[in-house]
Amino acid sequence: MECDVLIVKPADQKNVYGGLDAFSLTAYEPPLWTALLAGHIRGAGYSVKLLDVEVEKLSAEEAAKRIIELDPRLTVISVSGTNPSASTQNMLALRKIVNKCRELEHTHKYIAAQGIHVSALPERTLAEEKLDFVCCGEGFYTITPLVEAIKRSAVSAEELRNIPGLCFRTQDKPVKTEAAPLYKNLDELPMAAWDLLPMEKYRAHNWHCFGDIDHRQPYGLIWTALGCPFHCHFCCINTMFNSRPGIRFRSPKKVLEEIDYLVNTYGIHNFKIADELFAMKEQRVAEICQGLIERNYHLNIWTYGRVDTVTPAMLEIMKKAGINWIAYGFESGNKTVLEEVSKGYDFNTVDAVVKMTYGAGMHIAANFMFGLPKDNYDSMQQTLQMAFDINAEWANFNSVMAYPGSGLYVDAVKSGSRLPETWQGYSQYAADCLPMDTEYLSAEEVVAFRDYAFKAYFTNPRYLKRMENIFGLETVEVIKEMTSRPLRRNN
C-alpha cells in the first residue's frame, strides 16, 4: 500500500467542453481544493498523493489503473473547483473512473466523493454511484477520521456515525451524519500540497495573458479566504460551507508566505486569487498588496470583486501590486431581472465603477447571465447592450443553470421544471447543455441567444479595435481564432 489517501481530480473534457478540449487557448488550473485537503491530511500524519486526471490527460481507464497501482486505503474523488460550475459537470467523469475501478480491481477498495455537487445531493449520489462514502462540506474534519477508521478496520455503521459530514450506506437506507464544523483558524491550515502536483503543466487563461500570450506557464492559484458572505439565488458555492453565507480570512502574512513559496519554488508569475470575493475589505487588501509591492515580483494576477465593494484607493493599490484584472458579476442589464435573484448591488453604480476600474489602469473580466427567471428577449438584449457599453477586455456569457445546492435548483425541483438529463448537461459548453427555462423563453432559446451574444461581442469591431490598441494585433488574432471555433450543440 503506497499511501493512506489518494485524492483525484476527475475530468471528461471532451464532453464537458463541447469540442474545445484540445484547443490551445483553454486553461489548466491547479486543483486548489484537492491540494488543500492533501495538505491537511498530510499535516494530520497520514500519507497522501494527488492525481489530476485533467492535466495528465488520462482516460477513465488510465486513471483507474493509476489508482489501483497506487493502492490507497481510501480514494477521494474531489468534484470541486474554484467556481460553482466546476462540480456537477464533472460527475460523469467521476462515474466513469469509479466504474472502471470497480471493473478492474480484484478486491474491494474504499472510494469516497467530495465537493459541491455531492454535498448538495449526498443520498442521491450514493444511490447512483458505486461509492462507499460521500464527504459533505469542506472535508477537512471528515476525511481524516474516515481514513483512521479504515486503518483500524472500524467501519461498522455504529462507528461511522461518529464521523461528522459523512454519508454512507446501511442495509436499509443511506445515513447522513451531523454536519462537520468549518475550519475556523485558517492560519492553522497547512499550506496546500502543491509539491504533489505537476506544477509545470498548468497554464493561465488566454485572456489573462493578452499581450503576452506565449507566456501562460507556469500558472498558480493563491487563496486568502474561504466562503462567500452573499447568498445569490443562482449560486451554489456555499454548499461547501454548510449552506451558510459567511467568510473566513487568512492573515496577510500567511498569504504572502505562500506566494513567496510559489514564486521562488516554481517560478510562477501568473496567478489567480481564487477567493469568491477578494476585493472587499480595503485595509486587508491594502496590506496584502503592499507586501507584493515591496517584493517587486512583477506578477500578473486576476481576482474577483463586486461593484459595491471596490474603491478608487483599493483599485489603485491592487494595480500597483500586479493585480491587472478584476472580474465583476454584472449578470444582467435589466434592473428588475437582477433584483429577482438577490444579487444585492445598486444597479446605478455600474458606470461609475467601470470608469473607476479603467481609470486605475486595470482590465475587466465582465460576467453576464442569460436566462434568469424573469428574462425575455428584450431583457437579454439589454444585457448584451450593457456588455457592449462596458466593452470589457474580456467577457463571460453564461446561461443560467439550476446547479444542485442553489436556490434555483430547489425552486426547479419543487415546480417540476426541466433539468438536464445528464450531469454534463450542466456544463455551459456541452452539446446537451440545458439551462433553466424562463417565464418567457425555453432553455433552447436561452442557449441560442448566449451563443449569439458570445460571437457578437468578440467580433464587434469596436471591441477588436480596443484590444488592438491595448494589447496589439497578436491578441486580436488570438480572439479571431477563438471565435472561429463553434461549440457543438445538439439543438
Q: 370 and 457 in contact (C-beta within 8 Å)?
A: no
The residue extents of the domains of the chain are 5-176, 198-400+435-483
The overall longest dimension of the chain from CA atoms, in Å, is 66
Contact 417, 441 (CB under 8 A): no
Distance CA 425, CA 16 (A): 8
Strands (E), 321-386: 323-331, 363-370
| Whole-number Å distance between alpha carbons of 402 and 151 | 39
pLDDT at 486 exceeding the cut of 60: yes
289-298, 407-416, 467-476: which has the minimum mean pLDDT? Answer: 407-416
442-454: string of b/e by CB count within 10 Å (b at 16+)?
A: bbebbbbbbbebb
**pLDDT given for residue 347 in this prediction:** 75
Percent of the chain whose pLDDT exceeds 90: 81
CB atoms within 10 A of CB 388: 15
The answer to whether 77 touches 98, Cβ cutoff 8 Å, is yes
Q: According to the model, what pLDDT value does residue 346 have?
A: 76
What is the tens place of the pLDDT at every residue in 127-142? 999 999 999 999 999 9
Mean pLDDT of the 145-163 span: 94
Strands 74-79 and 323-331: unpaired
The single residue listed with the C-alpha cell 477567493 is: 275
Name the more confident of 86 and 317.
Answer: 317
CA pair distance 182, 205, nearest whole angstrom: 31
* Segment 302-340, tens digit of pLDDT: 999 999 999 999 999 999 999 999 999 999 999 889 887
Most confident of 19-33, 41-55, 68-82: 41-55
Cβ(255)–Cβ(287) below 8 Å: no
Q: What is the mean pLDDT of residues 328-356?
A: 85
Interatomic CA distance for residues 145 and 143, integer angstroms: 6
Averaged pLDDT for residues 363-383: 96
Residue 17 banded pLDDT, cuts 50, 70, 90: low
Determine the pLDDT at residue 340: 79
SS3 category, 28: strand
Phi, psi of 382 (to 5 degrees): -60, -40
Q: Which residue has the cell 483599493?
A: 314
Between 231 and 458, where is the model more confident?
A: 458
The enclosing H or E element of 76 equals strand 74-79
Look up residue 124 and give its amino acid. R
Spatial CB neighbours of 129, under 8 Å, sequence gap ≥ 6? 94, 95, 98, 113
- Edge to edge, the sheet with strand 219-222 lists 219-222, 270-273, 300-305, 323-331, 363-370, 394-399
- Measured CA to CA, the distance from residue 92 to residue 70 in angstroms comes to 23
Class of the domain covering 5-176 = alpha beta
What DSSP string runs through 94-131? HHHHHHHHHHH-SS--EEEEEEHHHHHSHHHHHHHS--
Check residue 150 and give its pLDDT.
96
Instruction: Give me 66's grid cell.
Output: 493509476
Task: State residue 161 phi and psi, 5-degree precision.
Answer: -65, -20
Distance (Å, whole) CA 267 – CA 260: 10
Asked whether the predicted pLDDT for residue 22 surpasses 70, the reply is: no
Rounded CA-CA distance 268/35 in Å is 17
CATH topology of domain 198-400+435-483: TIM Barrel (3.20.20)
Is residue 88 over pLDDT 60? yes
Give the C-alpha separation, 397 to 366, whole Å. 9
Average pLDDT over residues 166-195: 95
Q: How far apart (Å, rounded) are the C-alpha atoms in residues 247 and 230?
A: 9
Question: Is pLDDT of 383 > 60?
Answer: yes
Question: Other CB atoms closer than 10 Å to residue 477's CB: what's the count?
Answer: 12
Other residues' Cβ atoms within 10 Å of the Cβ of residue 78: 28
Q: How far is CA 273 from CA 18, 27, 142, 235, 263, in A?
A: 27, 15, 26, 19, 14
Task: Judge whether residue 410 has pLDDT over 70.
Answer: yes
Strands 246-249, 300-305: pairing kind:
unpaired
**pLDDT confidence of residue 61:** 96
- CA distances (Å), origin 47, targets 55, 75, 111, 154: 22, 12, 16, 19
CB 93 within 8 A of CB 12: yes
Which residues does 288 contact at the CB level (< 8 Å), separation at least 6?
Answer: 224, 252, 255, 256, 321
Confidence at 108, pLDDT banded by 50, 70, 90: confident
pLDDT at 342: 64
H helix and E strand count, the chain: 19, 15
Give the span between the Cα atoms of 149 and 151, in whole angstroms: 5
pLDDT at 243 over 70: yes
| Model confidence at 14: pLDDT above 70 | no
Mean pLDDT score of the chain, rounded to an integer? 93
Give the mean pLDDT of 274-290.
96
**CB atoms near residue 128 (< 10 Å):** 12
